């Protein structure tokens, strides 16, 4: 017997076999079991998620000789004919090959005639968006007044191209893109049923490469089995897919975490020597940053059997959440740069260096600075003596304790913090600083700023500026003094009002407004500083 591709062999034949489309299956099953059937259904979604498969199962449920229901028997003549593609009452049409209006009219000429053997005559039209405007007009008349023995099942990857007049006459179901975990689980099941040995680390690689399509995943699995000589190995799968080694992507992420530009360029050079797919490398980095953000906010998203579990946990703990968001945004937008740059490697290098250049001040780790570069971190001079020129003062040169709110605001204005740590400091009110304990107060409405990473960075920056260890004690309470954030907002508002007043008093501006009978657009006036 000839070999049958896994995508065909494991094509679902019942609603229960479909993966990840429970929301659609539930609606269709209820309609079938309660005999509340519409005359036209539209299934949308990316390729390979089960649109045509779902339509075929629905056709079986409509025409099963055991009766209409959500569980067709699969053994009657009609069910077997539909499964094998031999049912004369199920007409499968590829709209891409029948775009002419004459072909559509010819197709619809047989609509009035009753089915040959089945209960309903079912028209399954795939990629229906490929119909021409005239073809849709010809179809519209039939959809308005269909015979009771006819059902239309449409499938498309681009519903936006379907006229609204057609959409309004269909029940539309959107099949979602499958998650990598769902695809991996299905691939594992198929391999176990087929008795094919595999390494668990290979399946997530195939799942990510399939990009939400189970059919593509099964095709890639077929290819991986052939490439691995009857088994699916992680190293073989990486080679087959042509993807960048996971170690290389992690190395780039670590270089970003440490602010090490030289290491970044070294890893890009390494990628050039291995497999110069710089577009794929950037895509892999984006996917990694997405996973790190998920792990930081939802630790349970990291499954116990993930082959990279420990590395992901270490990296998620090493990069501030705001930095991950910044890196992700720059990498995402930087994909276009690779097409516009003189060559993809140059584009990738600039994207990575841009991520470091736009990193908020104060988030650079100590290892990011060169050994021969002096520490230029601003320091608070509360005493009248000249500040000590060394980067790290000893006990004899430690600065005096903070005395009041003015001292606190001068300190945090020069800490160079960024992200949540900066917002936390700028919204705190000074209470006391004695015996190594710095007491601050924060508005209860801003308690969400007290995330562990921000607290750690604020404490480290204060200790570096004061030259002495600090116990940071932040209590929630309504501030009775103006915070630095409030002071800066008040100053900004004053500058804004002054700018508006200057423009209102300007004779040229007044003449322009009168001549044009217009006024300034609200919010468009900005201070010149």
**pLDDT tens across the length of the chain (529 residues):** 578 899 999 999 999 999 989 999 999 999 999 999 999 999 999 999 999 999 999 999 999 999 999 999 999 999 999 999 899 999 999 888 877 788 888 888 889 899 998 999 999 999 999 988 888 888 888 898 889 999 999 999 999 999 999 999 999 999 999 988 899 999 999 999 999 999 988 898 898 888 889 999 999 999 999 999 999 998 888 788 865 556 788 889 999 988 888 889 998 888 888 766 888 889 889 989 999 999 998 888 887 766 677 888 888 888 888 889 999 999 999 988 888 888 889 999 999 999 988 876 555 443 333 333 333 233 333 333 333 433 733 333 334 578 888 888 888 888 877 778 888 888 899 988 888 889 898 888 788 788 888 888 888 889 888 888 888 898 888 888 888 888 888 888 888 888 888 877 888 877 877 777 777 776 677 776 5
Secondary structure element (H or E) that encloses residue 438, with its range: strand 437-442
Q: Is the distance from CB of 362 to CB of 417 less than 8 angstroms?
A: yes
Cα dist from 460 to 165, 363, 457, whole Å? 63, 11, 5
Report which DSSP code applies to 306: -
Q: Which fold has domain 398-481?
A: GMP Synthetase; Chain A, domain 3 (3.30.300)
pLDDT the model gives residue 365: 44
Express each pLDDT in 448-461 by its tens digit. 788 888 888 888 88
For residue 436, how many other CB atoms are within 10 A of its CB? 11
- Give the pLDDT of residue 217: 94
The pLDDT value given to residue 360: 67
Bridge-based pairing of strands 171-174 and 40-44 is: parallel
Are the CB atoms for 37 and 70 separated by under 8 Å? no
Q: How far is CA 133 from CA 94, 102, 279, 428, in A?
A: 16, 12, 38, 63
Cα-Cα-Cα-Cα dihedral sign, residues 399, 402, 403, 409 = positive
Q: Which of 328, 323, 330 is nearest to 360 (CA)?
A: 323
H or E segment to which residue 434 belongs = strand 428-434
**CATH fold for the domain made of 246-357:** Zinc Finger, Delta Prime; domain 3 (1.20.272)
First and final CA of the chain: distance in angstroms? Answer: 80
Sign of the C-alpha dihedral computed for residues 30, 38, 83 and 156 taken in this order = negative
- Two tokens, residue 325: 């968001």
Please give the pLDDT value at position 529: 58
- Please return the burial class of 318, using the count of CB atoms within 10 Å of its CB with bins 0-12, 13-18 and 19+: middle
Rounded-to-integer distance, Cα 171 and Cα 41, Å: 5
- Which candidate, 65, 82, 74, 79, places its Cα nearest to that of 16? 74
Residue owning tokens 């608070």: 380
Task: Please identify which residue in the block is written with the tokens 């604020």.
Answer: 458
How far apart CA 9 and CA 13 sit, in angstroms, is 10
CA torsion sign for 267, 271, 272, 277 is negative
3-state secondary structure of 90: strand
Question: What pLDDT is recorded for position 374?
Answer: 32
What span, in angstroms and rounded, lies between the C-alpha atoms of 98 and 105?
10
Q: Kindly give the pairing relationship between strand 150-156 and strand 121-126.
A: parallel
- In 3D, which of 130, 125, 128, 173 has the Cα closest to residue 151? 125
Q: How far apart are CA 296 and CA 313, in angstroms?
A: 9
Burial class (CB in 10 A: 0-12, 13-18, 19+), 37: middle
Q: Using CB atoms within 10 A of its CB, is residue 166 exposed (0-12), middle (13-18) or buried (19+)?
A: buried
Gyration radius of the chain's alpha carbons: 33
pTM, 2 dp: 0.58
Check if the beta carbon of residue 401 is closer than 8 Å to that of residue 294: no
* Residue 138: predicted pLDDT: 86
DSSP notation for 9-64: HT---SGGG-SS-HHHHHHHHHHHHTT---SEEEEE-STTSSHHHHHHHHHHHHH-
The CATH code of the domain at 180-241 is: 1.10.8.60
Residue 441 tokens, joined:
């107060």
Question: What is residue 416's three-state secondary structure?
Answer: coil
Domain 6-174: assigned CATH number: 3.40.50.300
Q: How do strand 90-94 and strand 121-126 relate by DSSP bridges? A: parallel
Residue 480: per-residue pLDDT: 82
Question: What are the extents of the domains in the chain?
Answer: 6-174, 180-241, 246-357, 398-481, 490-529
DSSP 114-134: PPSSSSSEEEEEETGGGS-HH
Residues belonging to the chain: 529
Q: How far is CA 315 from CA 139, 251, 289, in A?
A: 56, 10, 10
Distance of CA 461 to the CA centre of its chain: 33
Residue 295 in tokens:
């792990």
Count the helix, strand and coil residues of the chain and give each as a percent rounded to the nearest 5.
55, 10, 35
Record the tokens describing residue 373, joined without a space: 């570069």
């Amino acid at each position: 017997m000839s070999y049958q591709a896994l995508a065909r062999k494991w094509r679902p034949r019942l609603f229960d076999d479909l993966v990840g489309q429970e929301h659609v299956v539930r609606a269709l099953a209820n309609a079938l079991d309660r005999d509340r059937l519409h005359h036209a259904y539209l299934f949308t979604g990316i390729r390979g998620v089960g649109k045509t498969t779902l339509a075929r199962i629905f056709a079986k449920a409509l025409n099963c000789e055991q009766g209409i229901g959500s569980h067709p028997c699969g053994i009657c003549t009609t069910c077997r004919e539909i499964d094998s593609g031999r049912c004369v009452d199920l007409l499968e049409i590829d709209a891409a090959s029948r775009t002419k209006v004459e072909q559509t009219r010819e197709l619809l000429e047989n609509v009035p005639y009753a089915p040959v053997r089945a209960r309903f005559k079912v028209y399954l039209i795939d990629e229906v968006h490929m119909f021409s405007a005239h073809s849709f007009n010809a179809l519209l008349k039939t959809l308005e007044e269909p015979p009771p023995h006819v059902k239309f099942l449409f499938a498309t990857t681009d519903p936006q191209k379907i006229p609204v007049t057609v959409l309004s006459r269909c029940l539309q179901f959107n099949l979602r893109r499958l998650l990598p975990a769902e695809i991996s689980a299905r691939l594992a099941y198929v391999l176990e049923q087929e008795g094919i040995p595999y390494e668990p680390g290979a399946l997530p690689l195939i799942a990510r490469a399939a990009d939400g399509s189970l059919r593509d995943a099964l095709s890639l699995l077929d290819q991986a089995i052939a490439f691995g000589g009857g088994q699916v190995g992680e190293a073989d799968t990486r080679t087959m897919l042509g993807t960048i080694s996971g170690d290389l992507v992690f190395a780039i992420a670590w270089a970003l975490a440490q602010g090490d530009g030289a290491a970044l360029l070294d890893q890009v050079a390494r990628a050039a020597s291995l497999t110069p797919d710089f577009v794929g490398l950037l895509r892999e980095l984006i996917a990694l940053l997405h996973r790190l953000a998920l792990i930081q906010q939802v630790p349970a998203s990291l499954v116990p059997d993930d082959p990279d579990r420990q590395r992901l946990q270490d990296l998620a703990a090493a990069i501030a959440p705001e930095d991950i968001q910044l890196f992700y945004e720059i990498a995402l937008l930087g994909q276009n740069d690779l097409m516009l740059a003189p060559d993809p490697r140059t584009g990738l290098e600039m994207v990575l260096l841009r991520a470091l250049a736009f990193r908020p001040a104060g988030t650079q780790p100590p290892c990011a600075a060169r050994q021969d570069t002096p520490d230029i971190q601003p320091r608070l001079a509360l005493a009248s003596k000249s500040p000590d020129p060394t980067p790290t003062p000893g006990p004899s040169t430690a600065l005096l304790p903070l005395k009041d709110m003015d001292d606190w605001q001068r300190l945090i204005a020069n800490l160079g913090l960024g992200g949540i740590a900066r917002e936390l400091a700028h919204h705190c009110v000074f209470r006391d600083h004695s015996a190594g304990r710095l007491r601050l107060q924060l508005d209860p409405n801003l308690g969400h700023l007290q995330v562990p990473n921000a607290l750690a960075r604020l404490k480290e920056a204060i200790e570096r500026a004061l030259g002495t260890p600090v116990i940071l004690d932040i209590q929630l309470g309504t501030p009775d003094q103006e915070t630095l954030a409030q002071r800066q907002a008040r100053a900004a508002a004053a500058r804004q009002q002054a700018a508006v007043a200057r423009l209102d008093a300007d004779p040229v501006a007044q003449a322009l407004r009168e001549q044009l009978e217009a006024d300034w657009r609200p919010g468009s006036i900005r201070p010149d500083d």
